[in-house]
Copies of this chain bind each other. A is one copy, B any other.
């Protein structure tokens, strides 16, 4: 007996973007709110996306010669306090252990918000000579930054990430690594997450506390607010100096090395959800989808159902290069299943019913544009490869168009203000790089500097706020 279990309808993305975001995460089974303030639970379907991200990024990281390691979650307070900007930046966000093994601790332990200050004392111990350089390490772990108002994936007290930490003998070499890591992330955002964006340097106010320079990838969400996708830091010699990292160079002289750190977080899953989803639910880019294809035999409660199921299994066997599921549950209707797998954002649906059986064909339905095709068993593998590639490409192109349509140059502050009030998006505007103008713009428009484009050439312009000479246009936006 076929039954249907109607779900309360999904909030529409086109009507209530923010409500849709929370709703689709819960209904698609990606994640849930945890009974700990500010924390979330990654359910298997959401965690599987993170595992796919990890698999791709980890291979890229290793291919660059960086090796995985693991450092303690606890940082003695005295280490965190060594780099002054660093501790100032992270102090408001710390979770602190004060009791251990039933006793009040003499020295408080910070739960890592990032690991510079626990990794670099080890580097100081390990590095003696130029022979020990470069050090190229990465860790996949959890970090904790206290949040008052949390948002699933985007802003949670605990989140998951990778953090790379490298040490080099020259600034030239460390800058190359900063760029390599940024390029790796940009490639990943474009070619795997299928999200176009802008990469560039952060302002002094927006950079990582303790860094010399921070580079980032900034994306536009459908509500025209910016989301920072990753960061790659040129740490200069700041941390090396305070953690006393030195090496004997080939000429016998003692030198201070140059460092980088770079990170990519589970926040990226939030971007994936927001950018690609629609009123029916998620749309997961094929390259990162836990399930790329769902096969639905059109069961009718007849003896022929068994043949349909067999055919579904056979098709799954043919498609072993892809991640394929079959939904042959009897307790759910076909219509319910269509909705369910659309909600979950599986890129491609295969329908197989009596008609398909007779003609030795299947019906394919794309999730992104709902295009149908009718493909014979024999040419299925090639056809599907092409369709998945096309979906991946289409998602990126859509995101790319959105970015272009919502990025504009602004030379006048009134125009800037009204744009930030109405349409929002990325505004490219001259800024004199005086932090007072940056603060005022933020106060008056909620917009912050997002990035200076990496290929930005020195120009002659006037600061959009104060009118004083400005060398470059910066990207401004309201940000998550």
Interface-located stretch among A44-52, A222-230, A336-344 = A44-52
A270 to B200, CA, bound (A): 45
- Is B72 within 8 A of A44, CB to CB? no
From A34-42, A272-280, A381-389, give the one contacting chain B.
Answer: A34-42
**Chain A 72-101 interface 0/1 with B at a Cβ cutoff of 8 Å (1 = within):** 111110010000000000011111111111
Contact flag A144-B73 (CB < 8 Å), given A35-B79, A44-B137, A47-B68: yes
Q: Does A421 contact B (CB under 8 A)?
A: no
Confirm or deny: A69 has a beta carbon within 8 angstroms of a beta carbon on chain B: yes
Chain B residues within 8 Å of A67, by CB: 44, 47-48
- In the complex, chain B residues whose CB is within 8 Å of the CB of A48: 67-68
Closest-CB distance, A349 to chain B (whole angstroms)? 22
Indicate which residue in B41, B71, B72 contacts A122 across the interface (CB closer than 8 Å): B41
**A268 to nearest B CB, angstroms?**
15
Question: Which residue on B lies nearest to A68, using beta carbons?
Answer: B47
* Chain B nearest CB, measured from A48 CB (Å): 7
Inside 8 A of A93's CB, which chain B residues have their CB?
101
Contact B101 A98 (CB under 8 A): no
A146 engages B101 (CB within 8 Å): yes
Name the prevailing secondary structure of the A interface residues. Answer: mixed
Q: Which of B40, B91, B146 contacts A72 (CB 8 A)?
A: B40
Give the contacts of A135-170 with B (CB-CB under 8 A). Answer: 137, 141-142, 144, 146-148, 157-158, 160
A102 at interface by CB-CB < 8 Å: yes
- A160-B68 Cα distance, complex, nearest whole Å: 14
Please state the number of chain copies in the assembly: 2
- List, in ascending order, chain B residues with CB within 8 A of A98's CB: 96-99
Of A36, A94, A118, most B-chain CB atoms within 10 Å: A36
Which residues of A199-245 are within 8 A (CB) of B?
none
The answer to whether A109 has its CB under 8 Å from any CB of chain B is yes
Chain B, Cβ-Cβ closest to A29: B126
A128 vs chain B, min Cβ distance (A): 11
Q: In the bound complex, how far is the Cα of B47 from the Cα of A350, in angstroms?
A: 42
Given contacts A96-B97, A98-B96, contact A43 B69 (CB under 8 A): yes
**Within the assembled complex, what's the spacing in Å between the Cα atoms of A338 and B146?**
50
- In the bound complex, residues from chain B placing their C-beta under 8 Å from that of A480 are none
CB of A125 closer than 8 Å to a CB of B: yes
Closest to A131 in B: B331
Interface members, chain A 96-129 (any B CB < 8 Å) = 96-102, 108-109, 111, 118, 121-122, 125-126
CB neighbours (8 Å) of A42 from chain B are 69-71
Nearest B-chain residue to A156, judged by Cβ: B72
A160 with B97, Cβ < 8 A, contacts A35-B79, A102-B91 known: no
Complexed CA–CA distance, A98 and B111 (Å): 11
Q: Please indicate the chain B residues that have their CB under 8 angstroms from the CB of A39 in the complex.
A: 72, 74
Confirm or deny: A32 has a beta carbon within 8 angstroms of a beta carbon on chain B.
yes
Residues on B with beta carbons closer than 8 Å to the beta carbon of A158 = 72-74
A333 to chain B: closest CB distance in Å?
15
Q: Across the two chains, which residue of chain B brings its CB closest to A329?
A: B131
Could you tell me the distance in whole angstroms from the C-beta of A297 to the nearest C-beta in chain B? 20
List which A442-470 residues lie within 8 A (CB) of chain B.
none
Residue of B nearest to A40 (CB): B72
Given known A68-B47, A95-B109, contact A75–B36 (CB-CB < 8 A): yes
Chain B residues with CB under 8 Å of A75's CB are 36
Name the residue of chain B whose CB is nearest to the CB of A5: B131
Smallest Cβ distance from A282 to chain B, in angstroms?
Answer: 18
11 contacts between A and B (CB under 8 A): A32-B122, A32-B125, A35-B121, A41-B71, A44-B69, A48-B67, A50-B70, A73-B111, A73-B144, A95-B99, A96-B98
A interface, CB within 8 angstroms of B: 32, 34-36, 39-44, 47-48, 50-51, 67-76, 79, 91-102, 108-109, 111, 118, 121-122, 125-126, 131, 137, 141-142, 144, 146-148, 157-158, 160, 331
Apart from the given pairs A39-B72, A95-B99, A96-B99, 12 other A-B contacts in the complex at a CB distance below 8 Å: A32-B125, A34-B118, A35-B122, A36-B76, A41-B122, A48-B67, A92-B102, A93-B101, A95-B97, A98-B99, A111-B111, A131-B331
5 closest A-B pairs by CB = A101-B146, A44-B67, A39-B72, A42-B70, A96-B99
